[in-house]
């Protein structure tokens, strides 16, 4: 990454591995290939299938074949059993792995910020904080995740002016990359509230997963948005199943 004269960071990104208890060794060649081709790996959530510690341990065994810096966010599947703290502890045994939940980190002169995100819908169809308490709670969760992203990106700027910034989340920040999914479930796939901090903080590119039947690429204002859910990457013909983004720095 810090090769003399180098001005390109190669970012490998993928999401929705949904590691199960029968997946021992399944991703070894994938991470080995990423280790050869990239400078950093981003994992966009749903690392496990049922939010189980054993699934996290199986993923960790495969990740040991990747010595690059690894940045992750958790996804909704990782929260399924309420064992997300245990999943974090297991994955953090990988010496160069960081799980972002409203935090930012600078690696190789590039700022990365991450959070899980949440639903709420997009553009003119975004849900409002109105009505029953349950509806207000749903929207409040989306607002809280957007604020996490805003603060993480703002802190990066305080540490380093004119920093190029990359955002990582599980839920989508725009409707473009979820097209192909049934419109009825759009409110559960992401929220335009997540796009607002990306635009304000002048993010270069954002990566998410979650929408398995969505599209690879979209854009909000100047920000390129990539849906790197593994089924999307495979539909786009990207084998062995990751997206490689070159960032000029």
Domain boundaries, the chain: 8-248
Asked if 6 and 249 touch (Cβ cutoff 8 Å), the reply is no
CATH for 8-248, options being 3.60.21.10, 3.90.1300.10, 2.40.37.10, 3.30.1490.440: 3.60.21.10
- Identify the sign of the CA torsion 136, 142, 146, 152: positive
Q: What is the DSSP letter of 127?
A: P
Relative to beta strand 205-208, strand 223-227 is parallel
Q: What is the DSSP letter of 52?
A: -
Relative to beta strand 217-220, strand 205-208 is unpaired
Run of H or E including 140: helix 133-159
Q: What is the mean pLDDT of residues 51-56?
A: 97
Q: What pTM was computed for the model?
A: 0.95
- The predicted structure's pLDDT at residue 153: 97
Relative to beta strand 217-220, strand 164-168 is unpaired
Q: What is the mean pLDDT of residues 32-59?
A: 97
Phi first, then psi: give them for residue 146, nearest 5 degrees. Answer: -65, -40
- Dump pLDDT digits (tens) for 1-29: 444 446 999 999 999 999 999 999 999 99
Q: Is 68 helix (H, G, I), strand (E, B) or coil?
A: coil
Please compute Rg for the chain using Cα positions.
17
Phi first, then psi: give them for residue 14, nearest 5 degrees. Answer: -160, 160
- Dump pLDDT digits (tens) for 181-191: 999 999 999 99
- The predicted structure's pLDDT at residue 109: 93
Q: What is the mean pLDDT of residues 42-51?
A: 98
State the Cα–Cα distance between residues 101 and 108, nearest whole angstrom.
20
Burial class, 170, CB count within 10 angstroms (exposed 0-12 / middle 13-18 / buried 19+) = buried
- Identify the sign of the CA torsion 33, 168, 175, 200: negative
Q: What is the mean pLDDT of residues 109-120?
A: 97
Asked if 75 and 16 touch (Cβ cutoff 8 Å), the reply is yes
């Amino acid at each position: 990454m810090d090769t003399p004269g180098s001005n390109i960071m190669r970012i490998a990104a993928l999401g929705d591995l949904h590691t199960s208890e029968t997946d021992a060794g399944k991703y070894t060649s994938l991470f080995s290939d990423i280790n050869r081709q990239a400078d950093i790996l981003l994992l966009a959530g749903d690392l496990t299938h049922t939010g189980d510690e054993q699934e996290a341990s199986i993923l960790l065994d495969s990740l040991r074949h990747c010595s690059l810096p690894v940045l992750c966010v958790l996804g909704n599947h990782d929260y399924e059993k309420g064992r997300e703290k245990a999943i974090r502890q297991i994955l953090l045994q990988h010496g160069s792995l960081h799980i972002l939940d409203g935090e930012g980190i600078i690696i190789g002169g590039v700022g990365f910020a991450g959070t899980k995100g949440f639903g709420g819908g997009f553009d003119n169809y975004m849900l409002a904080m109105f009505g029953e308490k349950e509806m207000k709670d749903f929207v409040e969760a989306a607002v809280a995740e957007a604020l996490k992203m805003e603060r993480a990106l703002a802190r990066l700027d305080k540490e380093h002016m004119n920093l190029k910034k990359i955002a990582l989340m599980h839920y989508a920040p725009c409707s473009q990359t979820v097209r192909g999914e049934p419109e009825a479930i759009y409110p559960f796939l992401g929220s335009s509230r997540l796009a607002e901090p990306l635009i304000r903080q002048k993010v270069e590119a954002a990566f998410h997963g979650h929408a398995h039947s969505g599209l690879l690429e979209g854009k909000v204002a100047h920000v390129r948005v990539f849906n790197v859910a593994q089924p999307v990457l495979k539909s786009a013909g990207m084998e062995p199943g990751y997206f490689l983004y070159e960032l000029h720095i």
